[in-house]
Amino acid sequence: MDTNQILADVQEIFRDVLDNEDIEINFETVADDVEEWDSLSHIQLIVAIEKHFKIKFNSKELMEWKTVGDMIDCIAAK
């Protein structure tokens, strides 16, 4: 799956988990750009992304992410 398709899927997950259909994310998006993206919703996002893509992250990977693009690259590499 190419990174643009992953981004589109992740955006849908963000909209669903964060209950905001207006959320637009891109490869440069960071947590501060999305009002609803806090520490608790971050957990729900990770769980939902793992389930959707049938993958597992580890805590080291999460620590290394600075942007949504980093997350997308990590998903693409699995």
Min CB(45)–another protein separation in Å: 9
Name which of 4 and 55 has its Cβ closer to another protein. 55
Name which of 7 and 71 has its Cβ closer to another protein. 71
Give the separation between CA 78 and CA 48, rounded to whole angstroms: 16
Name which of 24 and 64 has its Cβ closer to another protein. 64
Nearest Cα residue to 20 out of 40, 35, 4? 35
Largest CA distance in the chain: 30
Between the two ends of the chain, the Cα-to-Cα distance in Å is: 10
- Residues at the site binding another protein, with contacts judged by CB under 8 A: 40, 42-44, 46-47, 50-51, 56-59, 61-62
